[in-house]
Chain A
Amino acid sequence: MKVKVFSPAYFNIDKIDDDGFMELNKGATVNDVFKKLKIKWPIRRFIVFTLNGKQIKGNCVLKENDVINIFKFVSGG
């Protein structure tokens, strides 16, 4: 199963392919995405994300082509 993941580059984005997709097992949750990105505590506490445009909880089960957008904190402006 593939889901689209927009992640800040300061996490481990090696598991995201050049088209922005991540390969996951069927039944995977958002927390599994975080694991692949190697987001650890306490940073995990500060992660703000949406699934298909809505803020939800991390144990939500994903389906093919879902879009996860992790807020990319940026400097500048």
Chain B
Amino acid sequence: MKGFWGKILYVDLTEGICTVEQIEDQVYEKYLSGVGLGAYILHKKIPKGADPLGPDNVLGFVSGILTGAGTLFTGRWMAVCKSPLTGTWGDANCGGNLAPAIKQCGYDGIFFKGISEKPVYLYVDNKGASLKDASHLWGKDAVETEEIVMEECKTKKSPAVACIGEASENLSLISGISNDKGRIAARSGVGAVMGSKKLKAVALVGTKSVNCHNIDEAKELSKTFGSKIKSAKPIPIPGFAMGILGNLMTKSNQVSDMGDPAGMMSSMFKKWGTGSMNQMSVESGDAPIKNWTGTKYDFPKKMSKSTNPGVVGKREVKKYHCNACPLGCGGICKIDDISPYKETHRPEYETVLALGGLSLNKDLKSILYLNELLNRATMDSISTGGTVAFAIECYENGILTKEDTDGLELTWGNTKAIVSLVEKMIKREGIGDLLADGSKIAAQKIGKDADAYAIHAGGQELPMHDSRNDPGFGMHYSVEPTPGRHTIGSFLYYGGFQLWQKDDTLPKPPAKYPRSEHFVPSELNGIKAVACSNYKMVIDGSGVCLFAANLGASFPIFRYLNAVTGWDKTPHEYLEIGRRVQTLRQMFNIREGIDPKSLISNKRANGEPKLNKGHNKDISLDMDKFMEVYWKSIGWNIKTGIPTKESIRELNLIEFVR
């Protein structure tokens, strides 16, 4: 075996027992590691109908098959479980330094079942694993917890720590898991599952090195690709220009080939990270505004300018890289003058827009403070922002009153009220308790047609990419086994992944074509979407960062996989593995009684009613048909979304049919 250990650590928190389980090589060849190994294990370990917050749910921390094997952009780990937020397959991933640390302990993944009687944390080193009392940590935020655990587990090597904060302890269904002091695997409610198990933290101090089949080739691939990224200089334009360029994007009705984006994408991300797009996306129609009812005219440049990357950049005191990343899109911002905290991670694009334009909040200081607060509490900023915007719309329409909101005037752009509301959500205090499980559940409790304002898919709030601008995002929000996910695919991603250069069965877009083609639920668009999700399953099975995939065809993921494992597979064969994993995730949902049609995103996000101004004016999407073309292309029943018998047989997944 190469690139993987063939072993997982299985922790029974009820019994307090840690055991090692062997995994056959064929499992990796069939599913890779990461999300694929997670899907394989969870299908077998979680009984049908398990309560996501009960002892039968299994929570996995899984590394990628390329992680720690001399490859670049492979420092991401996956949290996997049955989601308490959506009831579907749940996963979330995160960078930093945890992924290689899992491998360095001699395991490909660590899985937890049961519920501990008292708070505990898991300690793993080269000798083995043990559970330690975490009563003294319960109630502490993620940064405090990580600092204490690092001190307690100090060895020659600095421990890698994952942990939860207050929101996850309070079982908020929109909570996640932190590592590297405030970076979060945020989605699917994975933090609530960890909280339900009374598992406060995981501390990893192993020093083992995983084998690589052909280290020379892996190094050579890293050298060639890495030099392209390293030589890219920070982009030589000012932050305010991004808004101007965003506006420019609305002037075209065509789509063009982006060439080789690696060097220049790196230039932009090195300088500003995902925050490059903060103001640009408002102007271009990519960012949903005012709970998906507004446009840039509701959040004009004079309001969005406080979040342009140049302004945010003024607070940056240092940059950082994830493990094995030559790019380094992370940054640390100083906030000691505006909050009780000294610093925070530079807020990601998603966070800035979810806490900004979505509620018409123009105050960057509040966004920076909330970014740190949410990171420490381990609450998902996308779902938090979506739920806040939902509550504001309920208030503006009289569905919630001042009496319901503990006196908060939840009006659009009321920064003070937004900050107070988020603080209450973290603590489950008053109105915050109603909203701490996301907008869908809150709407069910409120009644009075509040559901119209809950912009989610399957219970998970939609991210900050407007389906009416790129229907590819919209399609994935609705067809994903983990609904409401933006990091799977879109028409933009298809252009950036450039998979047709590696797999000639995939369609190569013309040098230029009308943008209107994106709005038709055609067979071609189904093929593109399936290619994206298949690829993303390979990415998430390999521990790869999505941004590496967006650097275009020069990222050598398939060659890396062969070099590290010793397999001799074609890109097409790897993409078929991706299809197998995607289908297995969907089969998990079917087994759990989920109707795939029920995961369709809120109709507002699909242009019903249509916007009457802005770049997405008059756009409406036939999302039912978009879902059908995806299902047809991937081999699921076109009317039900259930994987067909033929596909299950073809993908060799019969063992999972009950």
Contacts and interface: CB of A to CB of B under 8 A. Distances in A.
A13 B512 contact: yes
Interface string A55-77: 10000000000010101111111
B438 interface: no
Most chain B CB within 10 A, of A6, A18, A19, A43, is at A6
Interface in A18-77: 18-20, 42-43, 45-46, 48, 50, 53, 55, 67, 69, 71-77
A13 B263 contact: no
Contact of A50 (B246, B264, B274): B264
A45 B515 CA distance: 26
A18 B510 CA distance: 7
B263 A20 contact: no
Contacts of A46: 237, 241, 244-245
Contact of A9 (B252, B280, B490): B252
Contact of A6 (B233, B248, B258, B285): B258
A6 B490 contact: no
Contacts of B473: 76
Q: Which of B245, B268, B546 has the most CB of A within 10 A?
A: B245
Given A53-B263, A76-B465, A9 B274 contact: no
A48 B511 contact: no
Contacts of A8: 249, 252, 256, 258
A53 B249 CA distance: 24
Contact of B260 (A7, A48, A69, A76): A69
B225 to A, nearest CB: 13
Nearest to B248: A10
A74 B259 CA distance: 13
A77 B512 contact: no
A72 B256 CA distance: 9
Interface in B442-469: 465, 469
B281 interface: yes
A3 interface: no
Contact of B286 (A42, A45, A55, A76): A76
A20 B509 CA distance: 12
Interface string B490-534: 101100100000000000001110010000000000000000000
A72 B261 contact: yes
B243 to A, nearest CB: 11
A46 B243 CA distance: 11
A61 B287 CA distance: 40
A67 B245 contact: no
B344 interface: no
Nearest to B240: A46
B244 A75 contact: no
A74 B256 contact: no
Contacts of A53: 260, 263
Contacts of B286: 75-76
Contact of B263 (A19, A42, A50, A72): A50
Contacts of A69: 259-260, 264
Interface residues of B, number: 51
Q: Pick the most buried of A43, A67, A77: most chain B CB atoms within 10 A of its CB.
A: A77
Nearest to B287: A75
Given A50-B264, A53-B260, A73 B252 contact: no
A19 B263 CA distance: 23
The range of chain A's interface size is 20 to 34
Contacts of A71: 235, 261, 264, 267-268
B254 interface: yes
B143 to A, nearest CB: 26
B242 interface: yes
A5 to B, nearest CB: 9
Contacts of A11: 252
A53 B224 CA distance: 14
A72 B258 contact: yes
A34 to B, nearest CB: 14
A48 B473 CA distance: 27
B251 interface: yes
Contacts of A20: 257, 511
Interface in B85-117: none
A6 B130 CA distance: 56
Contacts of A76: 277, 281, 286, 465, 470, 473, 490, 492-493
B259 A77 contact: no
B246 A75 contact: yes
Contacts of A50: 263-264
Contacts of B251: 10
B246 A77 contact: no
Contacts of A48: 235-237, 264, 267
The residue among A10, A20, A45 with the most chain B CB atoms within 10 A of its own CB is A10
B279 to A, nearest CB: 10
A43 B248 CA distance: 9
B284 interface: yes
Given A16-B511, A76-B473, A10 B260 contact: no
A74 B492 contact: yes
B256 A7 contact: yes
Contacts of B493: 76
A67 B244 CA distance: 26
Nearest to A7: B256
A7 B236 CA distance: 18
Contacts of B261: 71-72
B254 A13 contact: yes
A-B CB proximity, top 3 nearest: A6-B259, A75-B286, A20-B511
Interface of B: 233, 235-237, 241-242, 244-246, 248-261, 263-264, 267-268, 274, 277, 280-281, 284-287, 349, 465, 469-470, 473, 490, 492-493, 496, 510-512, 515, 546-547, 550
Given A9-B256, A10-B248, A71-B264, 19 more contacts: A10-B249, A18-B510, A20-B257, A43-B244, A50-B263, A67-B259, A69-B260, A71-B235, A72-B258, A72-B261, A73-B245, A74-B492, A75-B284, A76-B277, A76-B281, A76-B286, A76-B473, A77-B274, A77-B277
19 contacts: A8-B252, A9-B253, A11-B252, A13-B254, A13-B512, A16-B511, A19-B511, A46-B241, A46-B245, A53-B263, A71-B268, A72-B258, A73-B246, A73-B280, A74-B492, A75-B286, A75-B287, A76-B473, A77-B277
